[in-house]
Chains A and B, each alone.
Chain A
């Protein structure tokens, strides 16, 4: 059934006779025009990456960061309407801060995804608002070590109630993707935006479920996949923005940070090389 002209697609929160909310579907269209964003959940961390299309020569190179930090240990990359993405991030930061106020601990990534899912869903319920024009990927590392009793203060009891469990391990990497409908899933590898189809098929080849990919390999794969997805969509220039989160023992010490320049450039160099390699392969096949 077509949406246009029926009148069921003119307002948010209205169902069509066959049970669809067209305004949400149109919001998804806004996402499909945005630069490709991906997230990879590696065995020792999470990588977030974004293809930032250069729309003007006058833009300052390397400025205008779009992957945002939430709390200390989580990051959000989104595709679609940039201002909506910023609104989404601002809410996520509020949720994380509220959680800390209440529980004196960082919000687990799963809870953050859950809260944000509910928030986005609420924007599909009312005719007075429109749905979010973004699909957001949330990556986080839940701390594996025990939290101090109250931030910096004291060390707490060494035994008994509130005492420490020797060698206890929990937490780890998480990756979630939230759509304009408010629907979200946990992912091994997530992709959204313009080049999501080819990015997804590349992610699937990595066998992420096996949990063998290291964070550093993840960074390189993320760069390669974005270059690959970009090539397909025939856009002109783009900037690659990448962030990562490792465990406490890893390179970022449990924090969400930008991938260091050297590593990013190395990853981009390899990505370009891999693309050229592919082209060579195709050429030789043609010749054959």
Chain B
């Protein structure tokens, strides 16, 4: 089933998606927001540029974007998978509480802001390129991986990564020598155990984007977790 989005607003697109049982291709998408918001059991492919809050509150199924995506992809998503074959805008996976977001290219500012987890619900975000500033801001759970492959940016991550982080885990495929982390987090090199954990996250991703898993795993990774011995006392610094 194909939905030509050229003359449809987001409400019409979502109504069409709900009617489809099985795979659905949306063509000529241009900035319509909230696509597949709150839906489950969907299998959507998007050609064109989906608008903000793509797959917000997503509760299951798969969304594949053949190009770039805009801001707040997977806002508060609960389950399912969003695959972006390009770059992604700001605040991807905002307050995400489950599911997976796989990005082939770069992520904008604040990827994974306020990601959280509870019991078996552990969200995962993998960024193939680099991440902008404030990666994992206020992260309280879940896993964020930055692979730093083929990015147009010089650094794997921008300024102020993991600010306010108090849960979850961030993996950066870099030594992060020139990256300044806040004092309330611990950074260390990945151990064998970490690599095994990484392998389990990366298998599906490498499969999707035809990447060599072993080659990626062979690199240096930095792992960032909150430092429970140094809790937040004064959150906001003088600017």
A complexed with B: no
